[in-house]
Amino acid sequence: MTTPTRRSTAADVAAAAGVSRSTVSFVLNATPGQTISDAVRQRVRAEAARLGYRPHAHARALVSGASRTVLVPLPEWPVEYVLRQILDEAEATLDDAGYTLVTSGRHHSGNARPLWETLQPDIVLPIERLAAEEAAAIRELGIRVVEFDSDETEYVESVDAQVAHLVDRGHRVLAYASTTVPGMGRMSDARIARARRACADAGVRLQDAVVEESTARFVVREWRRAGVTGVASFNDDTAALILGAAIREGLRVPSELAVIGHDDSPIARLLVPSLSSIRFDTTGLGRHLAALALAAAAGGPPPTAQRPPTHARVVHREST
């Protein structure tokens, strides 16, 4: 029977480098304020690499009181293209700073322990605001909770951009296509309300309806009877349903029905005709998310009192 290979320890590195275990800890954990020569630092790192030694994360957390982990509880809606890009950028930024981002789905069956209880992260950074009692329970464990303001009612200028794009192209009766995706109801309602306001400000009429695959053609027929010539959609998937229904109904796009989506996901470029859409600064949003976590971990104030940067802009393609 093969004997399992023993994991290298800090003591092994110390013996090989001819230094104390505390020196190994100071060097590999980049502990500030230590007077250790560059030659010793290089020797310790070289021996650690040769032996394949890496500090045990859990042990290091017990010693330092920090896990260098940021837990992001996800909202109860799909992790689609834009959210995935935001999380990827936040993960890369945190990684550069020596932190690990961990995401957790939020289900309320009550059969599993919350991940923050077992993981003991430094920061819990929910995408969607936690219930007050849930946030309080996390703080009782000594874990910092950082609120990321993702309230769509405060930054839905993307809907203004959709409406303005259609109005600028001469459309005077518009429609808003909302989604049936579970968990998206609050966000969809906020965007419809914003669309109504934008249309009222522009002096144009607005219809709205929930659109799904089985009803898309019926909705398009009804909208055409009402004189609708331009449609703004909750996301690109919903816009694709409208676009497909319009073509199946024999409508010319965009001359008889123009359609603009939201999120500028890959499908927008692949559809024929290609889909106009709204693009967000996902890089800026991801970095903002990471900056909130890093500022809290350092015990400082938030990086900015302003809302996160969205910088929504129209990507004009064939569908409008």
For residue 295, the model assigns a pLDDT of: 86
C-alpha to C-alpha distance for 320 and 311, rounded to whole angstroms? 21
Q: Is 230 helix (H, G, I), strand (E, B) or coil?
A: strand
Per-residue model confidence (pLDDT) at position 151:
46
- Does the pTM surpass 0.95? The reply is no
Q: In the CATH hierarchy, which fold is given to the domain comprising 69-148+284-306? A: Rossmann fold (3.40.50)
Query: What are the tokens at 36?
Result: 């250790």
The rounded Cα 216 to chain-centroid distance in angstroms is 29
What is the model's pLDDT at position 205? 97
What is the model's pLDDT at position 178?
Answer: 93
Q: Per residue of the chain (320 residues), what is the pLDDT tens digit?
A: 444 456 677 788 889 999 887 788 778 766 666 778 889 989 998 998 888 876 655 445 444 456 788 999 887 766 677 888 888 988 998 888 888 898 887 666 666 777 787 778 889 988 877 888 888 888 888 888 887 655 444 457 789 999 999 999 999 999 999 987 766 777 888 899 999 999 999 999 999 999 999 999 999 999 999 999 999 999 999 999 999 999 999 999 999 999 999 999 999 999 999 999 999 888 888 888 888 888 888 877 666 545 555 678 899 999 99
pLDDT on residue 55:
62
Query: For the chain, where do the domains classified as CATH 1.10.260.40 start and end?
Result: 10-55
Q: Where are the beta strands (DSSP E) in the chain?
A: 69-73, 100-104, 123-124, 144-145, 173-178, 205-210, 230-233, 258-260, 277-279, 313-315
Q: Where are the beta strands (DSSP E) in 78-126?
A: 100-104, 123-124
Give the residue range(s) of CATH 3.40.50.2300 domains in the chain: 69-148+284-306, 153-279
Topology of the domain covering 153-279: Rossmann fold (3.40.50)
10-55 placed in CATH 1.10.260.40: yes
Return the pLDDT at 63: 47
Cα–Cα–Cα angle for 75, 115, 91, rounded to 5 degrees? 65
Contact 74/103 with Cβ under 8 angstroms? yes
